[in-house]
Chain A
Amino acid sequence: MRKIWFRSATALVLCAMGLAGTGAQAQEFPVQTKTLKNGMKVLVQSDHSIPNVALYVFYRIGSRNEHPGTTGLSHFFEHMMFNGAKKYGPGELDKVMEANGGSNNAYTTRDTTVYQDWFPRSALPLIFDIEADRIQNLNFDPQKIQSERGVVASERRLRTENNNRGLLSEQLWATAYVAHTYQWPVVGWMSDIEHWTMEDLKHHFAMGYSPSNATMVVVGDVTPEEIFQLCEKYIEPIPAHAPPPPVTTVEPEQLGERRLVVHKRAELPVLLIGYHIPQTNNPDFYALNILRTVLYQGESSRMYLRLVDKDQLALFVNSFSPSAFDPSLEQIIAQPKQGVDPAACEKAIYEELERAKTSAITDQELEKAKNIRLVEFYHQMRTISGRANTIGTYEVFFGDYNKLFDAAKNYAAVTKEDVQRVAKAYFEPNNRTVATLIPESAEKGKP
């Protein structure tokens, strides 16, 4: 993530796939597509309700494509994409964009790097000029690399070192994965942030930034024709090259529970439990989403009623899973209340999971979950930026944006038995990693 202060698109982005819901038929939501000669696919949806445009470019490269020693390079590179190319030098991209009414951000995940522009229609040609310049002629200024290192280190301190949930999550992934590249944090280990070189950056650019490795989504006050014309002028001449080498490592099956503890000065403990689940485009995606909704979403959900309301063990309990090309983690997070042993929260969570395995959810719960997914769909699709992100996420992670319109059908087809089957298949003890942050007493920390 590049910025925190100026836009609030973060929440939308982070939960995109978890919430992606049921929709209508494809013909009711016209998306025009074109694949450029260099292989970049462009998706356009016109919406003239506000005079603005959301333009997202998804690159299929993330920390999954990294190696020990240069972890966090994809995210660092994301930052460098704003730090100067041929026509728009260091600092100029942001200055020109903002002076023309636009703003931008970007985010990196384990699988993708996504660039976002939000701007008035009047800035359309300028935005294409900027995008083409940096995809084609990115420049690496040694001074900028050095100062941006400081920025990213500060970002890491913000989200990880000084954020207990961030810190624990990093440890969870590092423990749940022993072989696959999902094991390191997207932001990278601090020592890697301090040591990567210009050569590493150049290599990363050459590996991941072929136009054929990207998908562009444009939603807003535009016509598909004008976008395709702009693409032909600005983007199509950029030559394609080889995509990143495939990630061939397969995480071996986990054969027993793994546990880890982080001792840290804190007011309250944190409990995080990870279960290996399949990649996003697996057919079980829909049943897992329904199960997650029944267990965690809303104050009538099973986990809320049990841990927060009835037993009063936790401040909150939730679960989420990122969009992923490879088998991923379902992460259950709970914050035990003061004086509550995290083990008590753990036990209650396991009992509720067990209940979902031994007997089917009710008809009422199934219907409720499907209604919630429908509303989530509208929530995602009611802004131009929400739509750009959702269309792009489906295109990239399911391989086809049309899957967005099949979601309604796919959710409708989920049965109580499906939900019970996925609960049994994935939520078993041997498949889990349990991370607990235990507060160190203030006394102990004193000299």
Chain B
Amino acid sequence: MKIPTKTARILTVMILGLLVGVGATAQSIHIPPHEKLVLKNGLTVLLLEKPGVPIVSFDAIVKTGAAADPEGQEGLASITAELLRKGTKTRSAQQFAADLDYIGGSFGSDAGADFTSVSAEFLTKDLGPGLDLFSDALLHPTFPQAEADKVLAQNIDGVRSAKDNPQQVLGEYYAGYLFGARSYGRAEGGDELSLKRIGRDAIVKFYDSNFAPGNTILAIAGQFNASEMRKKLEEVLGAWAAKKVPEAAIPAAASVKGKKLLLVDKPDATQTYFAIGNVGTKVNDPDRVGIEVVNTVFGGRFTSLLNEALRVESGLTYGASSQFDSHREPGTFGMYSFTKNETTVQAIDLALQVLQKLHKDGITPEQLASAKSYIKGQYPPSIETSAQLARRIVQNEFYGLDDSEVNQLEARIGAVTPEVARQIIQKHFPDENLVFVLIGKASAIAPALKKYAEKQDARPVSEPGFWPPPTGKK
């Protein structure tokens, strides 16, 4: 096959557009204009034309995620998502793969805590077959038993494989220990036991109850013609039958009071991996910009207080950071690092000192100014591609946010004064109440950990499940 000359021409236009279209002047951070429409069946569509690269990115959110998994069947939303492409009314799983790969398309679907994500990308010239594949998976999956069996078995082994790498599973244990068996505490991808309890019936039921146009937001960004796209979408997605979906209820968790510690034993570990923190914030918390600025100083970049202390000044670790993993309801806040078995206590003590110092001394005007400049300077590459833009606008829509999240970012960052920063530290960064989760070699480190918390729990990594331990319920 020859490389289609049409594509080569598109690239010429792309480069000329880049060179001529925009001058090398200072630009403020902004999201390109886009439109929102709601089809008659209730499907919300966001269209963002971004000429340049001849790619179209699709990103759909179905407003039900892993937090809605029935207790004991953790992983159901995730497995349902993974199976969308594994057999439709007109294609077998293998045919879908063949059609997708033939045009160099990509397709991904998975469930996060709050929602299920279905995304795809195609060259603009393949928009017709691309949209056909995307909508086929979203609207017409048949969940063949044989494919469900395969995917479930794969995922059970996937959990085992992840447990061989402490960094991959620390977050699962941490969320589980922080939230318990409810909503955000459950493993989004399920575990070795919960996945065994999921049958095809449950998958079909989950799909039928939640995948509906009124429960879905679709963003499309990239190089396309909006009026043609609207017409195509009416044809292809307008036929999706409307149906009522009750909003997924997610109970908000209160912060953990006091201190508790979970040690996950991995007898061959030469390094201890740890998370320390408490319940964090919601995505649309009114303080979100200030939180980001303060966390940038505290643990969100290389010169952060945590990384300076644990890595740069002491060489205890390759990296130390802190992060708010926010959802519709408050998610986790954690300080994360790892260090060799022998220096586990030293590193944890140091992390705790840095946190105490944050509360005691706050942050300096210089640190504040530096963090603001850093966030602004690093922001543009985060909305550089059509895929990034599609994700940004679809998530804004889901969380009830708008373009001012991006367009007003600089102004909002500017409004974070030292006094605001002080208040944010008091309100959002844990102080005395802390949850500790460690994965490491228990025989080497356990005795020294007693000092951190009255309440101590332990589990071997090799035992099925994360936290809380499975109850044995069938």
Asked if B167 contacts A158 (CB within 8 A), the reply is: yes
A315 at the binding interface (Cβ < 8 Å): yes
Contact with A along B425-448 (1 / 0, CB 8 A): 000000000000000000000000
A83 to chain B, nearest CB (A): 9
B361 within 8 A of A: no
> 1/0 per residue B1-29: CB within 8 Å of A?
11100011001100100110111101100
Is the beta-carbon distance between B381 and A383 smaller than 8 angstroms? yes
Are A52 and B302 within 8 A (Cβ)?
no
A119 to B376, CA, bound (A): 10
List B contacts of A119 (CB < 8 A): 377
Chain B residues whose CB sits within 8 angstroms of the CB of A364 once the complex forms = 102
Interface contact A268-B101, CB-CB below 8 Å: no
Residue of chain B at shortest CB distance from A439:
B164
CB-defined contacts of B38 to chain A, threshold 8 Å: none
Q: A101-B374, A375-B123 are in contact. Are A50 and B101 (CB under 8 A)?
A: no
Q: Which residues of B contact A4 (CB under 8 A)?
A: 318-319
Which residues of A (281-313) have their CB < 8 Å from a CB of B?
Answer: 297-301, 305, 308-309, 312
Interface residues on A, range: 35 or more
Given known A-B contacts A161-B271, A378-B55, A147 and B166 have beta carbons under 8 A apart: no
Q: Are A445 and B268 in contact (CB under 8 A)?
A: yes
A261 within 8 A of B: no
User: Which residue in B53, B270, B313, B381 is a CB contact (below 8 Å) of A118?
Assistant: B381
Who on chain A is nearest to B341 by CB? A157
How many whole Å from A161's CB to the nearest CB in chain B? Answer: 5
Q: Is B72's CB within 8 Å of the partner chain A?
A: no
B-contact bits for A147-188, CB 8 A (1 contact / 0 none): 111111111011001111000000000000000000000000
Assess the B101–A300 pair: CB atoms within 8 A: yes
Given contacts A30-B15, A300-B101, contact A101 B376 (CB under 8 A): yes
- A18 proximal to B (CB < 8 A): no
CA separation between A222 and B54, bound complex, in Å? 23
The listed residue (B12, B52, B160) touching A24 by CB distance below 8 A is: B12
Contacts of A50 in B (CB 8 A): 27, 380-381, 384
Interface centre among B301, B338, B340, B378 (most CB of A within 10 A): B378
Q: How far is the CA of A222 from the CA of B18 in the complex (A)?
A: 12
Among B27, B301, B318, point to the contact of A51 (Cβ < 8 A): B27
A46-B19, A49-B384, A378-B55 known; A157-B150 Cβ under 8 A: no
The answer to whether A5 and B319 touch across the interface, beta carbons within 8 angstroms, is yes
Chain B residues contacting A408 (CB-CB under 8 Å) are 3, 8
Any chain A CB within 8 A of the CB of B208?
no
**Interchain CB contact under 8 A, B270 and A372:** no
- A101–B8 CA distance with the chains assembled, in angstroms: 35
Known: A98-B302, A119-B377. A22 touches B3 (CB 8 A): yes
Please judge, given known A-B contacts A49-B52, A154-B317, A408-B3, whether A99 and B373 are in contact too, CB under 8 Å. yes
Report the minimal beta-carbon distance from B409 to chain A, rounded to whole angstroms.
13
Q: Which of B92-100, B199-207, B284-292 contacts A (4 or more CB under 8 A)?
A: B92-100
Which residues of the partner chain A approach B160 to less than 8 Å between Cβ atoms?
A: 267-268, 338
Chain A residues with CB under 8 Å of B313's CB are 147
Q: In the complex, A162 Cα to B8 Cα: how many Å?
A: 46
B314 at the interface (CB under 8 A from A): yes
Task: Across the interface, name the chain A residue whose C-beta is closest to B7.
Answer: A374
- Residues 121-143 of chain A: 1 if any B CB is under 8 Å from the residue's CB, otherwise 0? 11100000000000000000000
Q: How far is the CA of A394 from the CA of B316 in the complex (A)?
A: 37
> When the two chains form their complex, are residues B381 and A28 in contact, meaning their CB atoms are under 8 A apart?
no
Binary CB contact string for chain A from 211 to 232 against chain B (1 if under 8 A, 0 otherwise): 0000000000111000000000
From A339, which residue of chain B is reached at the shortest CB distance?
B157
Enumerate chain A residues within 8 angstroms of B94, measured Cβ to Cβ: 299-300, 305, 309
The yes or no answer to B135 lying at the interface (CB within 8 A) is no
A48 touches B24 (CB 8 A): yes
A151-B315, A268-B160 as given contacts; A298 in contact with B338, CB under 8 Å: no
Instruction: Determine if B78 is an interface residue (Cβ-Cβ < 8 Å).
Output: no
**A366 and B1 within 8 A (CB):** yes
Indicate whether A368 reaches chain B with its CB closer than 8 angstroms.
yes
Q: Which residues of B contact A122 (CB under 8 A)?
A: 26, 377
Question: Cβ of B414 < 8 Å from any Cβ of A?
Answer: no
Closest-by-CB residue of B relative to A440 is B268
A91 within 8 A of B: yes
A217 to chain B, nearest CB (A): 16
Closest-CB distance, B117 to chain A (whole angstroms):
18
Is residue B407 within 8 Å, beta carbon to beta carbon, of the partner chain? no
CA of A445 to CA of B376 in the docked complex: distance in angstroms? 51
Please tell me if A384 contacts chain B, counting CB pairs below 8 Å: yes
A3 at the interface (CB under 8 A from B): yes
B63 at interface, CB cutoff 8 A: no
B104 lies within 8 A of chain A by Cβ: yes
Asked whether B344 is an interface residue with its Cβ less than 8 Å from the other chain, the reply is no
Residue A265 interfacial (CB < 8 Å): yes
Interface centre among B8, B19, B303 (most CB of A within 10 A): B303
Closest chain A residue, CB of each to CB of B107: A299
Which residues in A have their C-beta under 8 angstroms from that of B316? 150, 154
B104 touches A371 (CB 8 A): yes
- B-side contacts of A24, CB under 8 Å: 7-8, 11-12
B318 engages A164 (CB within 8 Å):
no
Residues of B within 8 A of A223 (CB): 24
Say if the beta carbon of A29 comes within 8 Å of chain B: yes
In the complex formed, the residue of B with least CB distance to A3 is B302
A335 to B22, CA, bound (A): 48
Residue B422, interface by CB 8 Å: no
Q: Which of B103, B307, B308, B338 contacts A158 (CB under 8 A)?
A: B338
List of A residues within 8 angstroms of B22 by Cβ: 48-49
Whether a CB of chain A sits under 8 angstroms from the CB of B251 is no
Q: What residues of chain A have their CB less than 8 Å away from a CB belonging to chain B?
A: 3-6, 22-25, 28-30, 46-52, 91, 94-95, 98-104, 118-123, 146-155, 157-158, 161-164, 221-223, 264-268, 297-301, 305, 308-309, 312, 315, 335, 337-338, 364, 366-368, 370-376, 378-379, 381-385, 408, 411-412, 442, 445
Contacts A24-B8, A46-B24, A379-B55 known; list 7 others, CB within 8 Å. Answer: A98-B373, A101-B376, A150-B317, A162-B269, A164-B165, A265-B267, A411-B3
Which 8 residue pairs spanning A and B have beta carbons closest together?
A: A101-B377, A150-B315, A147-B315, A375-B104, A299-B97, A99-B370, A298-B101, A267-B160
